[in-house]
Amino acid sequence: MTTKLTIRRPDDWHVHLRDGAMLQGVAQFTARQFARAIVMPNLSPPVTSIEACIAYRNRIMAALPEGSAFTPLMTCYLTDRTDPAEVRRGFTEGVFTAAKLYPAGATTNSDGGVTDVANIRAVLETMAEVGMVLCVHGEVTSAEIDIFDREAVFIEQVLAPLLKDQPGLKVVFEHITTQDAVEFVEAAPANVAATVTPQHLHINRNAMLVGGMRPHAYCLPVAKREKHRLALRAAATRGSTKFFLGTDSAPHTRETKESACGCAGIFNAPFALESYLAVFEAESALDRFEGFASLHGPAFYGLPVNESTITLEKRNCTVPATIMANGEYVVPFHAGETLGWTLVD
Ligand SMILES: NC(=O)N[C@@H](CC(=O)O)C(=O)O
Ligand SMILES: [Zn+2]
Ligand SMILES: [Zn+2]
């Protein structure tokens, strides 16, 4: 029986580090587990320029614990008015690692997002030309589309046509939640990949709705039915280089989650690796964890793998009911549960 696992240090290819007091409270958790992370730009106001991005990166660096070797990889929030020249310059100067497509109104702080991908055609062309990754929140927003169908409809109405128009563009279909998305990514060429969150590997929609409404199991895209969860588990643990780690850790204060209109987002950063590893163990795929966590992401982005390592031990760890993030309570994913592996410092 494996009781100790040492792998190259993982990266998180999708995280919300927030800003201000919350950033001060949560940055340490991601920095402890990961070498690098793709940092989402959905602040208020969003990070839409090189200047704003450099300033945000500096605030992240200032929020890291002393001596941290963590590197934030920054992203540009696309809007209907994004200037292709700004995206190109930000990428070539090393400020933007990727650009992020939020369909307007799809999720937290996406009101300034893109109303129609036709409006960013020149931006996408530029990105394809320079080899810059497009990160996509893949849900349509039309009122008449059922929330459980929004990802599958996005594939058909937006993503497939977009890739037809820009066949060379590197696209990360983020936080996928459906068998439809798994099948689409598997059938697509090598320039299309996906990230998978810990929550979508652990829970289906019952976790959110059975026995009472559970706001801390609510995120977007919402968890789907069990067959989709099983498809995601198979995809993530199969060893395919098209699927890699992206936590989508999205902290909101306990108050804003436990509300008449609760915010979407699950805060999983403090125990992300322990959470993923539980899945890989249950799927008898411990030997494939390093690929998912530390190798496939850098390969897709064209970045070097990390030289340093981390070690996880087969030892119980109990996730606290709440975490104090710089004066605000945040409820973590797996609150109050015990996980079978522990990241060794
Ligand atoms: N995943 C979420 O439920 N929420 C994210 C936004 C996002 O990634 O869609 C957030 O910023 O809170
Ligand atoms: Zn999203
Ligand atoms: Zn996200």
| Integer CA distances (angstroms), 4 to 56, 238, 315, 317, 342, in order | 37, 21, 9, 14, 10
* Distance from Cα 4 to the centre of ligand 3, integer Å: 31
- The pLDDT tens digits of the residues spanning 39-55 come to 999 999 999 999 999 99
pLDDT > 90? residue 295: yes
> Candidates 22, 26, 107: which one to mutate for ligand 1, based on the most atoms within 8 Å of Cβ?
107
- The pLDDT tens digits of the residues spanning 104-125 come to 999 999 999 999 999 999 999 9
* Distance from Cα 107 to the centre of ligand 2, integer Å: 6
pLDDT of residue 13: 99
Q: Cα separation of 335 and 338, whole Å? A: 9
At residue 196, φ and ψ (nearest 5 deg) are -130, 135
Average pLDDT for residues 132-139, to the nearest whole number?
A: 98
Residue 30: domain span? 4-344
The structure's pTM equals 0.98
pLDDT of residue 1: 83
Average pLDDT for residues 177-187, to the nearest whole number?
A: 99
Average pLDDT for residues 165-177, to the nearest whole number?
A: 98
* Distance from Cα 1 to the centre of ligand 3, integer Å: 35
Q: Which ligand 1 atom sits nearest the alpha carbon of residue 102?
A: 9
> Candidates 108, 173, 218: which one to mutate for ligand 1, based on the most atoms within 8 Å of Cβ?
108
Task: Name the residues around ion ligand 3, CB cutoff 5 A.
Answer: 248
- Closest-lying ligand to the alpha carbon of 108? 1
- The pLDDT tens digits of the residues spanning 66-115 come to 999 999 999 999 999 999 999 999 999 999 999 999 999 999 999 999 99
Q: Is the peptide bond before 41 cis (omega within 30 degrees of 0)?
A: no
pLDDT > 90? residue 265: yes
Mean of all residue pLDDT scores within the chain: 98
The yes-or-no answer on residue 248 being catalytic is: yes
How many structural domains does the chain have?
1
User: Considering only CA atoms, which of 135, 156, 147, 21 is closest in space to residue 73?
Assistant: 135
pLDDT of residue 2: 87
Q: Cα separation of 273 and 29, whole Å? A: 11
151-182 residues labelled b (16+ CB within 10 A) or e (exposed)? bbbbbeebbeebbeebeebbbbbbbbbbbbbb
Which domain CATH number covers 219?
3.20.20.140
Q: Is 296 annotated as a binding-site member?
A: no
Average pLDDT for residues 240-259, to the nearest whole number?
A: 98
Q: Is the CB of 219 under 6 A from ligand 1?
A: yes
pLDDT of residue 312: 98
Measured by CA distance, the residue closest to atom 6 of ligand 1 is 108
Q: Is 17 annotated as a binding-site member?
A: yes
- What ipTM was estimated for this complex? 0.99
Average pLDDT for residues 255-271, to the nearest whole number?
A: 98
Q: Is the CB of 136 under 6 A from ligand 1?
A: no
Is 146 strand, coil or helix?
coil
pLDDT of residue 36: 99
* Distance from Cα 250 to the centre of ligand 3, integer Å: 6
Q: Is the CB of 330 under 6 A from ligand 1?
A: no
